[in-house]
Structure 1
């Protein structure tokens, strides 16, 4: 098991209603949904990913258990090799009932062992997508919060300050050559306007 699977197994172990079929709450979907939400929250993972990965682990454990039983039947006095997963999830043993084996159980067990050794790339891909979706949601929420703060600030600003913000955004969008020309023209307009304001002030004083 990888680190996520180990943490998932420990998290699921705390909720017996998710694996103990003798409990009445095992068949209660509301209790199960609540438990899975808490498991996902504790692992900071998507609930669907946790559910799928646990089904994979549970089924893989059941296959490992069948192989252990079959090897004991085939060679009662031989060396008992136990799969690592079977040892790690030993607490799940009494809750998993193996299916009846058939005459071709050895071949089936060997095939299952080969399949179990293959990397489960799909689960890692799903976990990566879930993490990407969480980051994207967090980024969207942060952007929206920033936009709302900006709107609230604009509503309380003086109209002249709001206009200057617009002018500043416009100037930042200009290429260097045009920016220099715009600043020069703006300075001329400001100078001319300042002179006209002074003249109007003098006229008002004479009156």
Structure 2
């Protein structure tokens, strides 16, 4: 199955890399990442690095993260119906490849229900 996500532009790649460097924004809840001030500071640093407002950076990140999670779900469904393998594994330049650092923190819905 070919990924339905387009290759990210340089701005999206930068945003993904900046978020990756701020684990407080995506890791499982701990005392430190429940701290809104730390999260706000991280978003301000990211916004400055990508040349957008904090709100624009957050909105773009949410969009990309949601698309990524949906793509993972599609891949899971494809594996379930096609013998457990994906026809074309994602490469490191796709959203799927670049955002794979999120995998340990994504809770997937069970299809056994």
TM range (shorter): 0.7 to 0.9
Distance in 1 between the 2:46 and 2:85 partners? 40
2:105 aligned residue: 95
Alignment of 1:51 with 2:53, yes or no, is no
Instruction: Compare relative contact order (CA 8 Å, sep 6+) and give the higher one, 1 or 2.
Output: 2
Q: Note if 1:60 corresponds to 2:67.
A: yes
Pick from 18, 29, 32: which aligns with 1:25? Answer: 32
Aligned pairs, number:
103
What TM-score do the two structures reach when normalised by structure 1? 0.45
Q: Are the structure 2 counterparts of residues 80 and 23 from structure 1 closer, same or farther at C-alpha, using a change threshold of 3 Å?
A: farther
Q: Which runs of 4+ in 1 moved over 6 A?
A: none
Deviation at 1:22, TM superposition (A): 4.0
Q: Does structure 1 retain, via aligned residues, the 8 Å contact 2:19–2:46?
A: yes
Structure 2 unaligned residues grouped into runs of 5+: 1-7
Residue 14 (structure 1) aligned with residue 24 (structure 2): no
* CA displacement, residues 17-58 of structure 1 (integer Å, 9 cap, x when unaligned): 001024322222111111101111122211110000011111
Q: Which has the higher helix share?
A: 1
Q: After the TM superposition, which residues 1-207 of structure 1 pair with which residues of structure 2 at under 5 Å, given as runs?
A: 1-76=8-83, 78-83=85-90, 84-101=94-111
CA 1:24–1:97 in 2, change beyond 3 Å: closer, same or farther? same
Work out whether residues 47 and 57 of structure 2, in 8 Å CA contact, stay in contact via their aligned partners in 1. yes
Structure 1's unaligned 5+ residue stretches are: 104-207
**Maintained 8 Å contact 1:36/1:51:** yes
Give the number of the structure whose alpha-carbon radius of gyration is greater.
Answer: 1
Change (3 A) 1:57 1:3: same
Say what the alpha-carbon RMSD is for the aligned residues: 2.0
